Amino acid sequence: IRKQKLIPKAQYGGRHAVTMLPGGGIGPECMGYVRDIFKYIGAPVDFEIVDIDPTVDNDDDVLYAITTIKRNGVGLKGNIETKSEAAYVTSRNVALRNELDMYAYVLNCKSFPGVETRHKDIDVVIIRQNTEGEYAMLEHESVHGVIESMKVVTASNSERVARFAFEFARKNGRKKVTTVHKANIMKLSDGLFLETSKRLAKEYPDIEHNDMIIDNCCMQLVAKPHQFDVMLMTNLYGSIVSNVVCGLLGGAGLLSGRNYGDHYAVFEPGTRNTGTAIAGKNVANPIAMINASIDMLEHLGHHFHADLLRRAVHKTINVDRIMTPDVGGTASSTDVVNAIIGNIGLNH
């Protein structure tokens, strides 16, 4: 949902400051492409770049990143690594989402006509609880050899994300919300999540609501994905289902995802991969990060620049079919970026 209060005010000259967190792996090179393209199209955005050292054991860098996002209201990020093995050093990506209370994750999963896949014309939106559930990071060894890991589900967060999903469906002309769960086994935690969504569904009679158990959902997705419209789920199921759907659409290099709270928004590649093995080889698919940057432009109200870039990406992938090897092409990352710049068609 794009709430009015969520969108930061532009600075002098209509420009916005945005926190850029390149992260590890292919993050920095993909951010370089975004910066080149933004420069070319004259996007009215100034990036405040914050590098996070994955090897240090303290949270100073990530706290600084959080401070800048609070100031700017918006972030664009790659996946941040945590290299420390100390158990008390938890994922910086999770810390960032929790600190900024970005309780909803939205992944628009729409087929690219130019990318060959088993199923055509998939159009699903995954809405994932983004701050609790299995990602509570509360694990302990109660007695030697017995680890307990807490999955935290609260009524308030279940309600917020369910409302987000129904509002999203209504505002975007969607017809159905499917709550995905395992409430037959996790009767209390997933039970609360499911019951909350059923209760909210009554406030949205114009939107059809059903529910599906996570294991069946995975089977249905790979076999008959067209039955889904908006999908609502807890954190870990959201991560797994996002990867299933991205796989169906052509892998990790295409889709972008959006993290929303009531105050801040952060945009990133949809499956949140680091891509360490392919970093620095000019083979990473730059589209996921470029799509994240388009989402960001759209969020800031820079529709002209978002459209310009969206059309150029569409032409490059779906018409010219200039693609990296992960989606069946032979182009390098920079070939794709140069083709996009060529397709923007400005006479600079």
The binding site for Mg ion (CB under 5 A) comprises 273
Q: Is 326 in the site for ligand ADP (CB under 6 A)?
A: yes
Q: Which residues contact 281 (CB under 8 A, 6 or more apart)?
A: none
Nearest to 273 by CA among 289, 295, 258: 289
Q: Is 284 in the site for ligand ADP (CB under 6 A)?
A: yes
Smallest gap from residue 285 Cβ to ligand ADP (A): 3
Smallest gap from residue 333 Cβ to ligand ADP (A): 8
Residues 75-94 that bind ligand ADP (CB under 6 A): 79
Report how far residue 135's alpha carbon sits from residue 234's, in angstroms, rounded to the nearest whole number.
10
Report how far residue 226's alpha carbon sits from residue 90's, in angstroms, rounded to the nearest whole number.
37
Q: Which residue number is nearest to ligand ADP in terms of Cβ? A: 253
Tokens of 229: 């419209």
Q: Which residues contact 283 (CB under 8 A, 6 or more apart)?
A: 324, 325, 326, 332, 333
Q: Which is nearer to ligand ADP, 81 or 190 (CB)?
A: 81
Binds ligand ADP (CB under 6 A): choice among 8, 253, 257, 270: 253
Smallest gap from residue 271 Cβ to Mg ion (A): 7
Q: Is 277 in the site for ligand ADP (CB under 6 A)?
A: yes
Strands in the chain per DSSP E: 16-21, 45-49, 74-77, 104-110, 123-129, 139-143, 146-149, 176-181, 208-213, 230-233, 256-260, 265-269
Tokens of 279: 């970093």
Q: Is 72 in the site for ligand ADP (CB under 6 A)?
A: no
Binds ligand ADP (CB under 6 A): choice among 72, 111, 285, 343: 285
Binds ligand ADP (CB under 6 A): choice among 214, 252, 290, 322: 252
Residue 108 bridge partners (DSSP): 125
Q: Is 130 in the site for ligand ADP (CB under 6 A)?
A: no
Which of ligand ADP, Mg ion, none does residue 268 bind (CB under 5 to 8 Å by kind)? none
- The residue ranges that bind ligand ADP (CB under 6 A) are 25-26, 79, 252-253, 273-278, 284-285, 288, 326
